[in-house]
């Protein structure tokens, strides 16, 4: 049994780059400069090697503070590694702060091989700061707590903010578009331009259309397009590896609503779509509705704040006759701003209350068009992060932070993650927070808009990327 | 006939508080915008009028994750610390007829054959099931197709909401003991008061769009015919392989056993598993269901064929309609039943 009254000694994990910071630590040692024994150093080839998962799992395993050290900007052994680190951690720290996790527990520092004194000073400062904060309880797998320790600092689940206010907007009829779509699909199939069509098939109930492939003009009569066709079809043209099956060899006609076309364009950018075998028809959309018990509930949040009218990609476009006026393009950030305005405790309570509903069904991952890894890091039976396990709240946090972060800069805000969540967790808010940060830190960026535009997380600005902390 | 009692809806929180004095009480609570069974506390937002919880009562008998034992290493010694079986009496309040029937399905799976699942049994033994009739079954409900009576839910105690009162009737000895314990808060009522409500519910349930489904063909002799049916080729096509249908299904009961390494020892625990995942029943040689078509087929074959064949015709589906509401791509068991049931029956007649 450990005595909780004992002075708190934090556990600090330091990821140090092999070329600068680790050498700096080494020099600190040989120069007899003292820094706290609480710091456990993990050597990495480059600070850019540090995946956010490393940091999160360090916290999960009981670290009270995590610090990433790399070469000074401009000094990277691999020329540019630390520029990527800088952007990545600026976003991650901001996201964790958004979730109410103490920002002070994580740090990014530049330490060169000669800066032994700086290394010792930084470690002393950081250890002192984390000691003041006390033990990490907000991002921690409670199963790793030593016996006798209590689960502190989490507090009961409580309501903080309603994140899913319904939207009222008139939905224009798309009957005309449906007819045009059917005509084009029949024509293209009959002419042999395409071998199959990807669209929506009428379900057994009006509100239940499902994504479907049509191989023959005679099947087209079953095709529908209406306000219930919320599904993003982009991913079906990529053979999702976990679905198995064979790659289709013929060419496909795909219908894309404006928001779908952004994610589809992103897939094109990532070389996951064979454009030679794809015929794209962009279709107008007036918004889609949420259905419960086969009855309309209201417009999906994502449609309520949607500003995407145009298609960034498409061989043909079938437009809506009168595109309804759209909201201000920053309206979608209103809820994110409302959460940002809360205190850290309330932000934590909000996300704890939401994420604790998660049942790890992985619908958000499997439906996300840019969650397209050949093998998901969570499809893993070896580590304590298998996709189906939901033993502690930490696993929910870890999964959702990583899920949101792995699509950072690639998420086009199609909102599918929140649409499919059986527990109605507003997952899109995590992604929107990242999008908002990217816009603020690195300039306006819309994933999927322009495949030639540099991506925010794989590009950098030599002088202007200082948001990650103190340089 | 068991005696009928009633309590004003306004006094229910008193009732919950009274039950809470001696045992934990779980009931439909709205939190973060979602209705789920949660432990009652004074500030919980209880919603008995909501139709369906997202999570099912199975969570309380087969928790999503449950520790089995811990092995501790001390030098070369390994100490096994087993976990005590669950031993707290608890009450689940407001369970709908379909979910009650689902518990009967789970009982068959876990308790009817030797060896019984002791972890499940321990929780099951300790629970009092208080059911609640559905005043307003909705379009996605199809319990009537499985001959489940939404107007007369089973369980240890049945309840009805009529006007401003909650009516209650004990259904068995366990229920009687439970009701007697909290009798002070109730007043006597006439069972006949409920007749009108019951007739109304029964009529509503029968008139819903999915209340009559072609289930006749799902019998043992048609097993291979259905298994090999060509319709599976397109039925599964939209499936994205998530576990939503399995995790929100009241009768899905598969679990996996995993280890959590704490460095100082290992905790073995079990957690839900979904046949929709490629890692399901992963073995040394790989997985025997290679594509989503096979995984998808397995789930529905299990509900509609294997389970009834093993358990005396009892279907593994109770018509709660959660998969209809929750599937990201609008697939659901009704579409399967309609597609295969009708065609197999037609072929048999031809």
- Give the per-residue pLDDT at A408: 95
Q: Which long-range contacts (CB under 8 A, 24 or more apart) does A74-78 make?
A: A74/A462, A75/A20, A75/A112, A76/A19, A76/A46, A76/A48, A77/A17, A77/A18, A77/A19, A77/A20, A77/A46, A78/A46, A78/A48
Helices (H), chain B: 12-22, 58-61, 97-111, 118-125, 173-181, 195-207, 223-227, 232-235, 244-247, 292-301, 307-310, 322-326, 333-349
Q: Which residue of A has its CA nearest to B280?
A: A388
Residues in B closer than 8 angstroms to A391, CB to CB, are: 64-65, 260, 269, 271
Question: By CA distance, what is A206's nearest residue in B?
Answer: B330
One domain, residues B250 and B291: yes
Residues of B (160-219) whose Cβ lies below 8 Å from A: 209
Q: Is residue B76 part of a domain?
A: no
B311 in a structural domain: yes
CA B231-B280-A405 angle, to 5 degrees, is: 100
Task: Provide, as residue numbers in chain B, all residues whose Cβ is less than 8 Å from the Cβ of A146.
Answer: 264
**Which residue matches tokens 């042999």?**
A192
Confidence of residue B262 (pLDDT cuts 50, 70, 90): confident
Chain B (57-116) residues lying within 8 Å, Cβ to Cβ, of chain A: 64-65
Residues of A in contact with B264 (CB under 8 A): 146
B297 and B150 in a common domain: no
Most A CBs within 10 Å, among B290, B328, B332, B336, to test the A interface:
B328
Provide the mean pLDDT of chain B: 92
Give the lowest-confidence range in B19-28, B112-121, B263-272, B301-310: B263-272
Q: Which residue of B has its CA nearest to A291?
A: B325
Q: What pTM was computed for the model?
A: 0.93
**With an 8 Å Cβ cutoff, is B2 touching chain A?**
no
ipTM of this model? Answer: 0.92
Asked, for residue B285, whether it belongs to a domain, the answer is yes
Residue A40 with chain B: CB contacts under 8 Å: none
Contact status of B278 with chain A (Cβ, < 8 Å)? yes
Nearest to B279 among A203, A379, A419 (CB): A379
Q: Show residues of chain A in contact with B335, CB under 8 Å.
A: 203-204, 208, 210
Domain assignment of residue B126, given as a range: 4-68+87-207
Domain contains B257: yes
Residue-wise DSSP of A127-154: HHHHHHH-S--SS--GGGSPTT----S-
B77 lies in some domain: no
| Domain match, B153 and B272 both | no
Domain endpoint, select from B207, B234, B266: B207
- In chain B, residues with a C-beta closer than 8 Å to the C-beta of A381 are 258, 279, 282
pLDDT for position A324? 65
B267, B324, B329 ranked by CB distance to A211: nearest: B329
Beta bridge partners of A39: A12
For residue B263, is it left (φ>0), alpha (ψ between -120 and 50) or beta? left
B165 and B224 both lie in a single domain: no
- Tell if the CB–CB gap between A388 and B331 is shorter than 8 Å: no
- Mutation target to probe the A interface, by most A beta carbons within 10 A, among B42, B273, B329, B331 is B329
Q: What is the dihedral of CA A312, A317, A318, A320, to 10 degrees?
A: 30
* Contact at CB, B331 and A210, closer than 8 angstroms: yes
Same domain for B260 and B124? no
B34 & B101 share domain: yes
Predicted confidence (pLDDT) per residue in A299-310, tens digit: 888 888 888 888
B226 with B190, same domain: the answer is no
pLDDT of residue A152: 54
Tell me if A384 and B241 make a contact (CB, 8 A cut-off).
no
Q: Is CATH 3.40.50 what the domain over A2-141 is classified as, yes or no?
A: yes
Over residues B176-209, the pLDDT tens digits come to 999 999 989 999 999 999 999 999 999 999 999 9
Q: Residue B60: is its pLDDT beyond 60?
A: yes
Query: What per-residue confidence (pLDDT) applies to A148?
Result: 58
* Nearest residue on chain A to B38, alpha-carbon basis: A357
pLDDT for the residue A244:
56
Beta bridge partners of A291: A296
Same structural domain, B167 and B226: no
Residues B116 and B231 occupy one common structural domain = no
B278 found inside a domain: yes
Distance CA B27, CA B46 (A): 7
Q: Which two tokens stand for residue A5?
A: 């009254």
Within 8 A of A357 by CB-CB distance, chain B residues are: 31-32, 34, 36, 54
CB nearest A362 (choices: B64, B242, B290): B242
pLDDT of residue A470: 37
| Residue spans of chain A under pLDDT 70 | 1-6, 146-157, 164-169, 239-246, 323-327, 464-471
Measure the CA–CA gap between A380 and A378, rounded to whole angstroms: 5
Residues B294 and B192 in one domain: no
Domain tally, chain B:
2
Tell me whether residues A213 and B271 touch, CB distance under 8 A: no
Residue of chain B minimizing CA distance to A354: B32
Cβ neighbours of A389 in B, within 8 Å: 65, 258, 271
Residues B224, B160 share a domain:
no
With an 8 Å Cβ cutoff, are A353 and B32 in contact? yes
Report the residue of A146, A241, A293 to disrupt the B interface, i.e. the one with the largest count of B CBs within 10 Å. Answer: A293
B262 touches A at CB < 8 Å: yes
* Alpha-helix residue ranges (DSSP H) falling in B78-141: 97-111, 118-125
A29's enclosing H/E stretch is helix A21-30
pLDDT of B195: 94
Same domain, B147 and B280: no
How close is the nearest chain A Cα to the Cα of B110, in Å? 21
Contact B32 A213 (CB under 8 A): no
- Which pLDDT score, from 0 to 100, does residue A466 have? 58
Q: Which residues pair with A67 in a beta bridge?
A: A14, A107
Rg value, chain A, Cα: 25
């Amino acid at each position: 049994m450990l005595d909780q009254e004992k002075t708190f000694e934090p556990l600090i994990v330091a990821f140090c780059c092999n070329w600068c910071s680790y050498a700096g630590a080494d020099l600190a040692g040989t120069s007899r400069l003292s820094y706290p024994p609480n710091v456990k150093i993990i050597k990495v080839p480059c600070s850019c090697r540090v995946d956010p998962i490393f940091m999160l799992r360090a916290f999960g395993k009981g670290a009270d503070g995590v610090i990433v050290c790399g070469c000074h900007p401009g000094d990277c052994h691999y020329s540019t590694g630390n520029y990527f680190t800088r952007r990545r951690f600026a976003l991650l720290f901001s996201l964790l702060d958004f979730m109410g996790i103490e920002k002070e527990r994580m740090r990014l520092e530049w330490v060169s091989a000669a800066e032994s004194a700086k290394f010792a000073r930084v470690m002393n400062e950081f250890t002192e700061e984390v000691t003041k904060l006390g033990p990490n309880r907000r991002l921690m797998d409670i199963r790793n707590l030593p016996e006798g320790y209590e689960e502190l600092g989490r507090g009961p689940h409580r309501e903080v903010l309603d994140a899913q206010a319904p939207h009222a907007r008139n939905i224009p009829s798309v009957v005309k578009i449906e007819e045009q779509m059917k005509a084009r699909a029949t024509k293209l199939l009959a002419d042999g331009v395409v071998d199959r069509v990807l669209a929506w098939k009428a379900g057994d109930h009006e509100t239940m259309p499902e994504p479907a492939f049509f191989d023959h003009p005679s099947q087209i009569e079953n095709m529908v397009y209406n306000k219930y066709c919320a599904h993003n079809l982009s991913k079906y043209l990529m053979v999702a590896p976990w679905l198995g099956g064979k790659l289709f060899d013929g060419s496909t006609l795909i219908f894309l609503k404006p928001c779908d076309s952004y994610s589809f364009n992103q897939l094109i950018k990532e070389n996951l779509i064979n454009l030679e075998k794809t015929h794209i028809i962009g279709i107008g959309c007036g918004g889609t509705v949420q259905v419960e018990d086969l009855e309309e509930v209201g417009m999906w949040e994502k449609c309520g704040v949607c500003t995407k009218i145009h298609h960034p990609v498409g061989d043909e476009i079938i437009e809506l006759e009168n595109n309804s006026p759209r909201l201000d393009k920053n309206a979608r950030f209103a809820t994110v701003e409302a959460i940002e305005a809360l205190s850290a405790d309330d932000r934590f309570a909000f996300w704890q209350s939401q994420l604790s509903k998660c049942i790890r069904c992985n619908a958000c991952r499997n439906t996300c068009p840019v969650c397209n890894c050949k093998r998901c890091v969570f499809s893993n039976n070896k580590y304590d992060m298998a996709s189906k396990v939901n033993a502690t709240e930490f696993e929910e946090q870890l999964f959702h932070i990583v899920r949101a972060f792995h699509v950072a800069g690639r998420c086009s805000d199609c909102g599918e993650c929140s649409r499919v969540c059986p527990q109605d967790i507003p997952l899109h808010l995590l992604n929107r927070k990242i999008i908002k940060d990217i816009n603020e830190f690195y300039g306006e960026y819309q994933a999927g808009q322009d495949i030639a535009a540099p991506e925010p997380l794989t590009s950098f600005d030599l002088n202007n990327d200082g948001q990650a902390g103190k340089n | 006939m068991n005696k009928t009692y009633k309590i004003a809806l306004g006094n229910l929180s008193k009732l919950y508080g009274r039950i809470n004095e001696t045992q934990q009480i779980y009931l439909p609570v709205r939190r973060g915008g979602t209705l789920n069974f949660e432990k009652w506390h004074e500030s919980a937002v209880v919603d008995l009028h909501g139709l369906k919880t997202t999570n099912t009562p199975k969570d309380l008998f087969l928790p999503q994750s449950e520790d089995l034992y811990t092995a501790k290493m001390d030098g070369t010694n390994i100490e096994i610390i087993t976990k005590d079986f669950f031993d707290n009496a608890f009450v689940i309040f407001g369970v709908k007829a379909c979910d009650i029937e689902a518990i009967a399905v789970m009982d068959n799976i876990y308790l009817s054959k030797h060896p019984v699942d002791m972890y499940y049994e321990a929780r099951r033994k300790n629970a009092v099931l208080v059911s609640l009739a559905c005043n307003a079954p909705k379009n996605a409900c199809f319990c009537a197709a499985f001959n489940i009576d939404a107007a007369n839910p089973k369980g240890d105690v049945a309840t009805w909401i009529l006007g401003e009162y909650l009516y209650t009737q004990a259904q068995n000895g366990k229920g009687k003991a439970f009701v007697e314990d909290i009798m002070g808060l109730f007043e006597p009522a006439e069972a006949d008061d409920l007749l009108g409500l019951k007739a109304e519910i029964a009529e509503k349930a029968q008139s819903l769009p999915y209340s009559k489904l072609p289930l006749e063909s799902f019998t043992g002799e048609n097993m291979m015919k259905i298994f090999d049916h060509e319709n599976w080729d397109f039925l599964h096509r939209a499936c994205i392989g998530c576990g939503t249908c399995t995790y929100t299904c009241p009768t899905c009961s598969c679990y996996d056993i995993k280890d959590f390494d704490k460095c100082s020892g290992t905790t073995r625990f079990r957690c839900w598993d979904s046949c929709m995942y490629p890692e399901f029943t992963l073995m040394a040689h790989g997985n025997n269901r290679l594509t989503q078509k096979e995984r998808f087929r397995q789930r529905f074959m299990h509900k509609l064929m294997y389970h009834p064949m093993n358990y005396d015709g009892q279907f593994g589906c109770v018509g709660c309609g959660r998969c209809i509401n929750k599937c990201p791509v609008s697939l659901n068991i009704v579409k399967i039943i309609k597609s295969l049931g009708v065609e197999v029956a037609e072929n048999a007649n031809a």
